[in-house]
Amino acid sequence: MKVLAMAAFALAVASTAACAADPRYPNWPCTQAKVPDISLAAVWAGPALDDAETKWKDDAKVTALVSKLSARKTPMDEAEKSVKEFLAGSAADKTANAKLLFAGLFDTLNAQRSQVMNGLERVSRKQREAADKIREESIQLQALQSATPRDDAKVDALSNQLIWETRIFEDRHKVVRFVCEVPTAIDQRLFALGRVIQQEME
């Protein structure tokens, strides 16, 4: 019966996640609301980016710095210091460079965010399929356990399979809960870096 209890727990988790989902985004597994894209106006109050939105990729220094700053492994204090060092210079250069740098960060972090969110929805679909399979196999196991005569070999084989599948389901659920925090962390990083860039322009 322990196997069926594990399976029931996995199905309860799946059911709770399904109920919590935004009906507009049926595959979104997080309790956090899904915001598909970051609005530029929400994170940037500086001058219009204009052609910086495409030209930032042509500047080797900017692309290298954007890569460093957008990496979550780069501590924020180190990232802020790098922004200040990069924007040291004349007012004209500072504005142009600031626009290029933020355009690159906005583009890159938005892309990272979309990639994470798409991955979460892929895993959510797999979890739904796994829950359906666990449900079907739980019913099969109950039937095998109640059968007369009882085939213990089949009961053991299906029990072991259910244990394995339920553990995979639970492990994925734990990972999803952790990864659900990532889009918010990316939002916060972009907002914080945008604020530093704007402060350096003043």
How far does Cα 104 stand from its chain's mean position?
20
* 14-18, 39-43, 130-134, 148-152: range with lowest mean pLDDT: 14-18
What type of residue is 22? D
pLDDT at 88: 87
The closest alpha carbon to 113, from 165, 182, 56, 49, belongs to 182
> What is the percentage of the chain residues whose pLDDT exceeds 90?
61
DSSP 56: G
Tell me the average pLDDT across 155-184: 92
Count of other CB atoms within 10 angstroms of residue 140: 14
What's the chain's length in residues?
202
pLDDT over 80 at 188, yes or no: yes
DSSP 33: P
Gyration radius (Cα) of the chain, Å: 25
For 137-166, the pLDDT digits (tens) are 999 999 998 888 889 999 999 999 999 999
For 27-82, the pLDDT digits (tens) are 899 988 888 888 898 899 888 998 999 999 999 999 999 999 999 999 999 999 99
pLDDT at 55: 94
The closest alpha carbon to 141, from 4, 12, 8, 10, belongs to 4
- Residue 99 pLDDT class (50, 70, 90 cuts): very high
The closest alpha carbon to 109, from 42, 25, 168, belongs to 42
pLDDT over 70 at 18, yes or no: no
> What is the SS3 assignment for 66?
helix
pLDDT at 185: 94
- Average pLDDT for the chain: 88
The closest alpha carbon to 38, from 119, 115, 110, belongs to 110
pLDDT at 179: 94
Q: Enumerate the domain spans of the chain.
A: 2-14+53-201
pLDDT at 2: 57
pLDDT over 90 at 91, yes or no: no
For 106-115, the pLDDT digits (tens) are 999 999 999 9
Q: Where are the alpha helices (DSSP H) in the chain?
A: 2-20, 40-43, 52-55, 60-70, 76-86, 91-146, 152-179, 182-201
Whether 162 contacts 155, CB under 8 Å: no
DSSP string covering 99-146: HHHHHHHHHHHHHHHHHHHHHHHHHHHHHHHHHHHHHHHHHHHHHHHH
Tell me the average pLDDT across 127-136: 91
pLDDT over 90 at 183, yes or no: yes
